[in-house]
Amino acid sequence: MAERHATRDATALTHRTYTLRPARPLAYRVIAWAIVCLLSAGAGAAALTAWRLNNGDAPLPCAVAPVDEDAKQTELVRTKLALAQESAARAAVQKTADSANAEVARLNAQLQFLRGQSNAASVRR
């Protein structure tokens, strides 16, 4: 006869809750990632330096470009002229809009008067 295995042990194992636990401590993992990041940054800096030296590009010092005073004054005068032209154009557009509004108001008044005359004539008949 075949021996029966104890089912009680298997049942106890299948009804437990299992959680994943890290194999290494947190401090070890943090230090390992920090070392990897530092090595990667160092390798990148070394590669960039080697590439610049290989291409002959030396870091250029920051220098302020000289400003031509005549060009500066010419640009200022040109900008003032453009501003004056835009102001004149805006004033002309505003004047046209005001006159158009006055014309619309006059025509509306005439239309109301004529409608009133038309209604009065139809009532008389």
Mean pLDDT per 10-residue segment, the chain (125 residues): 58 73 87 96 92 72 83 94 96 96 96 87 71
Q: The whole model's pTM is what?
A: 0.39
Whole-number pLDDT of residue 32: 95
Whole-number pLDDT of residue 120: 76
Residues 22 and 29: beta-carbon distance below 8 Å: yes
Count of C-beta atoms within a 10 Å radius of residue 71 = 9
